[in-house]
Amino acid sequence: MNSADYSTHGAVAVVTLNNPPVNGLSHELRGAIVAGLDQALADPAVKAIVLIGAGKAFSGGADIREFNTPKATAEPNLGSVIRAVERSPKPVIAAIHDVAMGGGLELALGCHYRVAAKGAQIGFPEVKLGILPGAGGTQRFPRAVGPETAVSLIVSGNPVPSEALESTGLFDRLIEGDLLQGAIAFADQVVDRRPLKLVRDIKIDYPHAEAFFAWARTSVGASSKGFPAPVKCVEAVAASVSKPFEEGLKLERDLFTQLVQSTESKALRHLFFAERAAAKIPDLPEGTPTRPIKSAAVIGAGTMGGGIAMNFANAGIPITVLEVKQEALDKGLAAVRKNYEGQVRKGKLKPAALEERMGLIKPSLDYADLGQADLVIEAVFEDMAVKEAVFKKLDEVMKPGAILATNTSTLDVNRIAGFTRRPQDVIGLHFFSPANVMRLLEVVRGKATGKDVLATAMGLAKKLKKTAVVSGVCDGFIGNRMLGPYGRQAGFLLEAGALPWQVDAALERFGMAMGPFRMADMAGGDIGWAVRKRLYVEKPQVKFSKIADRLCELGRFGQKTGAGYYRYEPGKRDAIPDSEVEALVVGSSKELGVTRRKITDDEIVERCIFALVNEGAKIVDEGIAARASDCDLVYITGYGFPQVRGGPMFYASTVGLYDVVRSMKRFHADPLGDPGFWRPAELIERLAAEGKSFSNT
């Protein structure tokens, strides 16, 4: 049902919002609310009206199913519904439970009274989509709770429980027990109160407004670089203090229109839908049976294994950590405890919770201790021979029906599955380092992986609070396969005339969290070196700059050795440009017979980012990724791509695929270290020729 239910309880009419799952304010529901209001007003026996939500929410705001469709703004729009509520000659009471977010909270603010159940989540998440509340929220909310609280909640986009706002003017009562009965009793008490009060009529008395908003503009601007919405939220709230209500409402509408048309908002909205699309696997029906995961195990207590263990402990799932030596096991668990202690010091975790979580992590030196786990994840060295030994052992000791997962970042999951007699139980679960922090989980589906195993992995990702993206099997899956050409192009730029710190700075100004060379130093140069050595044998046609190998040959593996592309002071992570590296880079160009030239920052960005895009297009065309937005989600959540650009594929679409192809053909004439590098992917050429974008895939 996508409407509102109408009933009467004595002199009180109850209009129940009924649009599962969170009563999104669809066009049909908005019309039904007004119809219910009109029915109550036409009945002389009705003296008051209660608005309440069915199911799990009062209202979660706009119905996301109507985003970018004519229904989103069709009359009655939300502003019209709120005006109808405000003009009601009979008191209208919003009864809030569970969730009142965005437009749902704006609707409640238009009511004459508001009652709420304790624990209801109250907030305005619009800023996370690059917009601001557009139906009076920035004008009514400050009048109800004060400008400082309003700025805090609207700018952060984070909800707070109803009790946190109990002392403000937002709620007239917090209801204990049954909310509907409490709301009806409250309505009976206010039936004859006149005049009916409206939040819009409240005058804000705030003598420190000028100083507060000057501070808010500065602090919000500094913390939200690249995101226009937070600062505009401050401007809109400031108008609630300095302007009459209708003028403030007009400013809010103007700012909303500006933001909704901005590239930044389009990028954030794209990612919002990308995350929901990634959870939908074309050949995996809803309701596919899953396997229970009541206990888990991880092989390896290093940085990755320890981080994986923390994810399970955080979710309340017991996990056994296996190592081959006591010293390595002790060191790994000490690192886990240290991580938790850091959270306690920052106030993010209570000491009792630390001990509870450590109690869920059980150390072991014996494979036999893993046998009854529902899921086991190997996090051992990235070498096929090592993986083979581990999986053959797991095949022997794990109970029937246990899921056998590999955390490999590049190796063939199908081959790994072949080391067992149960390939249907094998799946890739590629966590990103540090695994206890990074949101991304690449779920790698082998050719034999059972559908129930895949469904279980996707459900587990939610429990672990990860963003799961399904990948097919190929070298590097989605993320690392795209990273390969990106890193290779960065290396070729060094040979042509750039230096590592120029390349990093250009890409960081573009918005990348970290340039490719700083990232390589952090990850460890030896990791990339091992991958390249394998590719030299398996794919000799793939060309690489030799600079990275030469640094490794000198023992410069990055931060862990105090020197890589940069040098590092003991105990510090500051990347310091190094004259020795500059000499090595310049010497490499001379050795290759390359006359070094000036490389612009624009060329650095175009070559590196379009290298990502081109490989992403191949991945989509091959069916490794189900859709282009999956590639975007991987790069936003796992590789530090700037959110405001929406991911590499979305960014390419904003540039225009026609222009992207032209740039690639221009680079083909000057290919740097690999003559075959810049052949555009067939998907890009096809879409560009048809005037389409990656959103059409």
| Predicted pLDDT at 71 | 87
DSSP 69-117: SGGGTPSS-HHHHHHHHHT-SS-EEEEE-SEEETHHHHHHHHSSEEEEE
Q: Which two tokens stand for residue 197?
A: 């009060």
Whether omega before 434 lies within 30 degrees of 0, making that bond cis, reads: yes
DSSP character string of 204-220: P--TTHHHHHHHHHHHH
> How many other CB atoms are there within 10 angstroms of residue 322's CB atom?
24
Q: Per-residue b/e over 225-247, b at no fewer than 16 CB within 10 Å?
A: eebbbbbbbbbbbbbbbeeebee
Task: Break the chain down into helix, strand, coil percent, rounded to 5.
Answer: 55, 10, 35
**Main-chain dihedrals φ then ψ at residue 307, nearest 5 degrees:** -65, -40
Helix axes 228-242, 137-145, angle to 10 degrees: 60
What is the pTM for the complete model shown? 0.91
Instruction: Give strand pairing partners of 377.
Output: 298, 405
Cβ atoms of 482 and 616 within 8 Å: the answer is yes
Phi-psi region of 185 (alpha: psi -120 to 50; beta: other; left: phi over 0): alpha
Tokens (6 digits) for 591: 């050795």
Category of 102 on φ-ψ map: left (φ > 0), alpha (ψ -120 to 50) or beta: left
Distance CA 24, CA 30 (A): 9
Q: Name the nearest CA neighbour of 94 among 105, 84, 102, 103.
A: 105
Q: Phi-psi bin for 206: left (phi > 0), alpha (psi -120 to 50), beta?
A: beta
Please confirm whether the linkage preceding 21 is cis (ω < 30° from 0).
yes
- The catalytic residue positions are 106, 126
How far is it, in rounded angstroms, from Cα 185 to Cα 430? 54
Task: Spell out the residues 6+ positions from residue 561 whose beta carbon is closer than 8 angstroms to its own.
Answer: 555
Q: What is the mean pLDDT of each run of 10 residues along the chain (697 residues)?
A: 86 96 95 97 97 96 84 92 97 98 98 97 96 96 97 96 95 95 96 93 92 95 91 97 96 95 93 94 92 97 95 97 95 95 94 95 96 96 93 97 96 96 98 93 97 97 97 95 96 97 98 95 90 91 94 95 95 94 96 95 97 97 97 96 96 96 93 90 96 88
Place of tokens 């129940």: 16
Residue type, 615: E
**Could you give the domains of the chain?**
3-260 (3.90.226.10), 296-471 (3.40.50.720), 479-696 (1.10.1040.50)
For position 433, what pLDDT does the model report? 86
Closest alpha carbon to 272 in 102, 99, 152: 102
Token pair of 582, please?
Answer: 């500059």
Task: Count the residues in the chain.
Answer: 697
Tokens of residue 3, six digits: 């409407």
Name which of 379, 431, 427 is nearest 405 in CA terms: 427
Q: For residue 611, what are the contacts with CB-CB under 8 A and spacing of at least 6?
A: 485, 486, 488, 489, 677
- Which pLDDT value is given to residue 571? 86
| Residue 696 confidence (pLDDT) | 77
> Residue 351 and residue 274: Cα distance in Å, rounded?
37
